[in-house]
Chains A and B, each alone.
Chain A
Amino acid sequence: MSAELVLEATCRMLGAWAFLSGAGWLVDAPQWAGGGPLGRDLHRLRRSRWTQWRPFDLLHDSRFLALLGGIQAALGLWLVLLPGQPLIALVALGLIGATQALRGANDGSDKVAMVVIAGGLLQAAGIALDQPVLTFAGALWIGGQLTLAYATAGIAKLRHAVWRNGTAIQGVLSSYMHGCGWAARVVRANGPAKLLAWSVIVLEVLFPLALLLPTSWLAVVLGLFLLFHLAIAAAMGLHTYPLAFAATYPATLVLGQWLRIRLGIG
């Protein structure tokens, strides 16, 4: 796998995520308009130095939010169509992501995308400057964070009795906020709920070991995780997560390959 191909695959998936997420902000921006329930004028009532600062108004302006969404969607299209020239688009997406983080409006998929943006920038800089160490640093950042994310999420679930006995997954998927009708029916009985909960826990906890598998096997494991994220998107409406996570997979394959070579099993 050449570094250029890895970066192109990463950028195409990140671009698709950016398009979807940016278009979402564009459509949702009126909900955050001043005078409405989520308007910035209410936030200004919090008399902290930060909320009284002029740029705070701009950050919370719904028109600015729509503009950011539009730019993000356009940058996403750029990355999908021209993944070989990603540097400026990645820098701009990073700045937009940082702005959303300052607003306190980012979710888990935004965080995963920020990891990909930072790692993608390092990879792009490494290719441009012909510095394989820099390219590897990008893959290490993305693959390392993905491994940490899956393992931590699995261990955190394993610690809770309600996850181990299946009632957590029943509760989540039976709710209207995070679940849906078909998913609630799947976990209605205790057996399937427990089986599903343990499948998620085992997959997540053991993911670091998957890095030691041959590349084709690691790709199969990542394919399973992609199916897992697609199922979550269908059941829970978290539609931006599959693309954000998929964007981490090319770099994770590189990290796995490097690890096996270092350990003498590649």
Chain B
Amino acid sequence: MPLSVALAEQLAQIVLAGVAILLTASVLQQFRTVGPKGHLLDALALVPQWKFFAQDAVGLDPDWSDDWHVLARVAAIGDATRPTPWQPVIAPAVRSGWHFIWNPHGRSQAQLLAYAEMLGRAHPAEPINPAGLAYLTLLRACFDVVSPDRDQALQFAVVATRGRHERPVFLRYLSLWHVR
């Protein structure tokens, strides 16, 4: 047997062993809470974790399947007593038949709604950092949509709605007032 063929066979066996090791690690990964390094291995699908719509939070929070919305309003600087009515800025898109095969904005929309959910679910004992990424992203989205005048301040709210029938609305987070 030529040396190169023998070497290729040995390498193939090593690769097969590597695949078996990664599969075993993947099985173990399903029972673990994933840390930062685990997140990268998960995203690269080297040691993935599979829990489609059955994450650990499911069932623990009564609001885990709520829809998240971001609303904004403006008021004259220094007089927040007479604000404008709330205006919708970010909301889940109503599903169209096309989304079955073509839904290109699904990712960016999901990202914005994930930030809204992050603020909406924040524990009252851990105040939101207004310099944090989620807060600033939503604030910028609100300024883009509402475009307040220079003498106006803007405030946004994160609200949750549940279901399609009675659709109760829950206020989950209220921001500070901001000027441009």
Contact = CB atoms under 8 A, between A and B. Distances in A.
A39 B111 CA distance: 12
A162 B44 CA distance: 30
B123 to A, nearest CB: 21
A159 B91 CA distance: 31
Contacts of B140: 36-37, 39, 42
A22 to B, nearest CB: 10
B19 A141 contact: yes
Q: Secondary structure at chain A's binding surface: helix, strand, loop or mixed?
A: helix
Given A101-B44, A175-B65, A153 B59 contact: no
Contact of A101 (B40, B101, B107): B40
B172 to A, nearest CB: 15
B112 A141 contact: no
Interface stretch (B23-31, B79-87, B147-155): B23-31
A126 B20 CA distance: 17
B105 A237 contact: no
Given A152-B50, A175-B92, A111 B45 contact: yes
Contact of B16 (A136, A168, A237): A136
B164 interface: yes
B176 interface: no
Contacts of A215: none
B113 A177 contact: yes
A37 B138 contact: yes
B136 interface: yes
Contacts of B9: 131, 133
Nearest to B51: A156
Contact of A118 (B20, B45, B107, B131): B45
A48 to B, nearest CB: 11
A258 interface: no
Contacts of B37: none
B12 A145 contact: no
Contacts of A107: 107, 110
A179 B95 contact: yes
Nearest to A144: B23
A166 to B, nearest CB: 12
Contact of B65 (A111, A168, A230): A168
A195 interface: no
Contacts of B95: 176, 179-181, 235-237
A105 interface: yes
A176 to B, nearest CB: 4
B8 A129 contact: yes
A149 to B, nearest CB: 4
A259 interface: no
B8 A145 contact: no
Given A31-B105, A141-B23, A177-B92, A111 B59 contact: no
A84 interface: no
Nearest to A141: B19
A233 interface: yes
Interface in B144-166: 144, 161-164
Interface of B: 8-9, 12-13, 15-16, 19-20, 22-23, 26-27, 30, 40, 42-45, 48-55, 58-59, 64-68, 91-95, 99-108, 110-113, 131, 133, 136-138, 140-141, 144, 161-164
